[in-house]
């Protein structure tokens, strides 16, 4: 089993531009899934905003980003970065979640999501927001 940590940057409508910029700098693979793609449109004007995005550089560079929906509070000091932990198996992620959740506030329960077989978000006692999920290959069809 392996895990990795990746900076997860949060924006209000600028995630696509930021990811495209980082991709132009670091190269590699650019992946952008919109709210529409993930079947999670809260407001029509946010349909093309980024629900999940990442740049995976050939050199090991990794960054993830998304657009915080208008229905959620957003301040660059409030939700500017998540620590994303992605694992290969539900067992691995469930075990890590169980350890992190002990002194944390659950933001989104660990469970299936439209883009991952297992996903959850919590804020630990130090104020750090953690996103845990099982990584899967994206199939746009």
Q: How confident is the model at residue 82 (pLDDT cuts 50, 70, 90)?
A: confident
Query: How is the chain split into domains, by residue range?
Result: 3-134
Phi, psi of 35 (to 5 degrees): -55, -40
Reported pTM: 0.71
CATH fit for domain 3-134, picks 3.30.450.70, 3.10.180.10, 3.40.50.720, 3.40.190.10: 3.10.180.10
Q: For 92-134, what is each residue's pLDDT tens digit?
A: 999 999 999 988 999 999 999 988 999 999 999 888 899 999 9
Please report, to the nearest 10 degrees, the dihedral formed by the alpha carbons of residues 7, 92, 98, 134 taken in order.
50
Read off the pLDDT of each residue in 80-102 and give the average, rounded to a whole number: 89
16 pLDDT above the threshold of 90: yes
Residue with the bigger pLDDT between 44 and 81: it is 44
């Amino acid at each position: 089993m392996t895990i990795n940590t990746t900076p997860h940057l949060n924006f209000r409508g600028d995630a696509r531009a930021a990811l495209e910029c980082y991709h132009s700098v670091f190269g590699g693979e650019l992946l952008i899934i919109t709210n529409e793609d993930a079947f999670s449109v809260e407001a029509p004007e946010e349909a093309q905003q980024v629900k999940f995005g990442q740049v995976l550089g050939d050199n090991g560079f990794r960054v993830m980003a998304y657009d915080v929906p208008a229905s959620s509070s957003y301040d660059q000091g409030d939700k500017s970065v998540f620590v994303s932990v992605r694992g290969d198996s539900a067992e691995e992620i469930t075990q890590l979640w169980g350890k992190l959740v002990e002194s944390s506030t659950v933001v989104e329960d660990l469970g299936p999501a439209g883009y991952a077989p297992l996903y959850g978000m919590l804020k630990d006692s130090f104020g750090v927001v953690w996103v845990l999920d099982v990584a899967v290959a994206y199939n746009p069809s």
